[in-house]
Each structure stands twice: as C-alpha cells, then as structure tokens.
Copies of this chain bind each other. A is one copy, B any other.
Amino acid sequence: MRILILGGDGYLGWPTSMHFARRGHEVHAVDNYLRRRSHVEAGTDSLTPIGESLPARARAFHEVTGLEIGVTEGDLCDWDVVERVFREFRPEAIVHYGEMPSAPYSMIDREHAVFTQTNNVVGTLNVLYAMAELTPDAHLVKLGTMGEYGTPNIDIEEGFIEIAHKGRSDVLPFPKLPGSMYHLTKVHDSHNIHFACRIWGLRSTDLNQGVVYGIETEETALDERLATRFDYDEVFGTALNRFCLQAVIGHPLTAYGRGGQTRGYLNILDTIQCIELAALNPPEAGEYRVFNQFTEQFSIMELAEHVQKAGAEVGIDVEVEHVDNPRVEMEDHYYNAAHTKLLDLGLRPHLLSETLIESMFAAIERHRDRVILDHIMPATRWRAVREGSAR
C-alpha cells in the first residue's frame, strides 16, 4: 500500500514510517520540523539524540535495512506542498500525525493559541481537499485525542452515542469537552472530517488516542541512528515518560494537583499496532469512524505508584511532589471510556508492567547526561491571561 505519513519526523511518525516500510509498504513521510524549531526556541531538546533531518534519518534507515522512505520537508498549511505530495505520491492511506500536539504550547499566550488552531485546522482542511480532488478513495487515518471528550459523568463511547430523548432516538457525535486550545483543534478537526466524509464520500478513521509512553520500537532498536525522539519537558513531555525520567535523575515526580486525573494510556508499540490495524481495515466510502485508542486507564497517582514500585525494584527511591495544577481540570472524577473496536480488529495490548518501566529507566539512563533540568516544572498556566500577556 502507498502510505503517506504526515508528521513523519515526530515521536510516533518516525517509528510508524519505519514500521510500514519494513512491512513492504511504500512510505512517504512529510514534516515541517515544527517540533524541532519549538525546542530550539524554548531551549529544550529530545532526551534521545535523533537524526539531524528527515532525509538523514531516511538515509540511515536505508543503510540499516536497505529499504526506502520517501521524504518531503514542507508545511501542510502550504497548499502547494500538499497538492504536490498527493499528486505525485497518490497515497492509498494517509496517516495524519502532522499537527501541533501540545496542550501547554497552545496555552502559552494568544499567539500560540491562534497559531495552534490555524495550523491544525488549515493543515487538515488542505489534506481533506487534496483527498477529495486527487485521491477520493484513499483512507485518512487521523490522530485525534481522548482529550476531546474531557471527563463527562457518563461512560465515554467511541465517537458516537445513541441518545434516547423524549420518545425518539438517534446515534450522534459524542459531546466534547476539550481542555485546551490544542484539544479544541482536534474537536474542530473531527467535525471537519466528519463533514468531508458526509459530503464527498471520503473515508476516515479518527483515532482518539490516549497518552503514549515508551521509548523503543522494533525498528528504533535496530540502530541508534533510528531512535525516535523522547520529550520530557513541560511543553512536549507527557505524564508517564516524564515520570520515568524524573525517577532516573532523582527528581520528584511532578503530580499536578491531587493527581486523581484519570486518562487512557498506551504503549508506543500499541500505537503502531493500532495505526496498522486501522490502515489495513479501511472503512467504507463515506464512513467516518472513531476508535478510542488506548489500552488501560490510570490516574496520575496510580502512574506515580507504578513508577515508585519499579524504582524500588532497581534500588531507586522515588518521591512524589504535588505541584500546583497549572491546568483547569477536575482532579477527582468519574472516568470510564470504551475501547473495544481496536481489540475487535485484533489489537494485542502491551500492558504497563514494572518490567517495561525498568526498561525505560535503562534507556533513559543511557542519555542522562543530555537532560536539561530547567524546563521540567510546569510554567504555562491555563488561567493566566493578564494585561499585556495576550500579545
């Protein structure tokens, strides 16, 4: 299959590109290096050293495996880039990770909020128009987020819910309560993609993904030049990855608020499995389907306890610090989200274990000299819009 990977230089995009290439697919990766630039601006960096560019990574992959990954360095908001890629590559499946993925980044100030919403919404609109014009039978596998749903007081279903109301009923999009300017963009995308499927007959799988953890996949392990990035800073890092790093360097785990916030989580190996299952089992023309892509639910304190236990196994004394929650979110709430559709397609989950956490410790330990301590504590505050700050 010809598979286009948008955001192919990212934490998930690069391992996904390699995975499909190793399974005999024709892969083309696109990235505009937004993440790399943001790190340079903020003075942060990936824990793992990564290839200096997408072409450099593709060359290394070719040296190691003999396989090709096509690359385009370009911006999805630039229609000329999108149109050229679709015209020349004619993808059969599009895996779309190509968005600004950080909630704190989107909440820094007005400019970052406007950039995030414009960047994500316009990039995806361009992809939809390119599909409608050039590859109407292709399948869009779009990365959404479980954060679209927020924390409603009812079970979260997979994208749609049957609502019985005043003697009638309908199956309608599940209501959304996103928690940041970034999460809002994923909700906007969901509505835009659903519409494109309804009017143009496009087909799409929207993967509402939980928080991903892990540092290695089958392909990144082949050669150190094939490593994927690993972010732990307050802007691009996520809970479990950051906790593991904090444990290794002797920093207290930074639990935001009381730590009762419960979310879905999954191993990076399962992200790749899910993407592959979605791509190999496309929906019908005109169908917009949503899968909740995670394998387990944990509260922040449960995650912290897992890391503490794994630390104890290897002789690390792990402390937990409750820091003032920079976000506006419930810290103690009901949470039960359906996630059976990917299991039905054959997903075999890699559940969180002390062994996995210990192997993350070991991988992090190899790069501990690269850790930048300055940007681990949360700095971006959801409520902070003060005089002058909007500029």
Contact = CB atoms under 8 A, between A and B. Distances in A.
Q: Which one of A154, A181, A383 has the highest number of Cβ atoms from chain B below 10 Å of its Cβ?
A: A154
Number of copies of this chain that the complex holds: 2
Contacts of A130: 390
A284 to B, nearest CB: 17
Given A130-B390, A175-B175, A385-B200, A117 B121 contact: yes
Contacts of A312: none
Interface string A112-149: 01100110011001100110111000000000000000
Contacts of A195: 178-181, 184
A153 B126 CA distance: 31
Point out which of A133, A166, A387 has the most chain B C-beta atoms below 10 A from its C-beta: A133
Contacts of A166: 154-155
A75 to B, nearest CB: 13
Interface string A371-389: 0000000000011011111
Interface in A167-217: 168-170, 172-181, 184, 187-188, 191-192, 195, 198-200
Interface of A: 79, 83, 110, 113-114, 117-118, 121-122, 125-126, 129-130, 132-134, 152-155, 161, 163-166, 168-170, 172-181, 184, 187-188, 191-192, 195, 198-200, 328, 334, 382-383, 385-391
B155 A165 contact: yes
A166 B177 CA distance: 19
Main secondary structure of the interface of A (DSSP, over half): mixed
Contacts of A390: 79, 83, 129-130, 132-133
Given A121-B121, A155-B168, 12 more contacts: A113-B125, A118-B118, A130-B390, A132-B390, A154-B164, A154-B168, A173-B175, A173-B176, A174-B175, A181-B195, A184-B188, A199-B328
A319 B307 CA distance: 75
Contacts of A125: 110, 113-114, 117
Contacts of A129: 110, 113, 385, 390
Given A163-B175, A174-B175, A199-B328, A122 B114 contact: yes
Contact of A191 (B152, B163, B187, B382): B187
A192 B114 CA distance: 11
Contacts of A382: 199
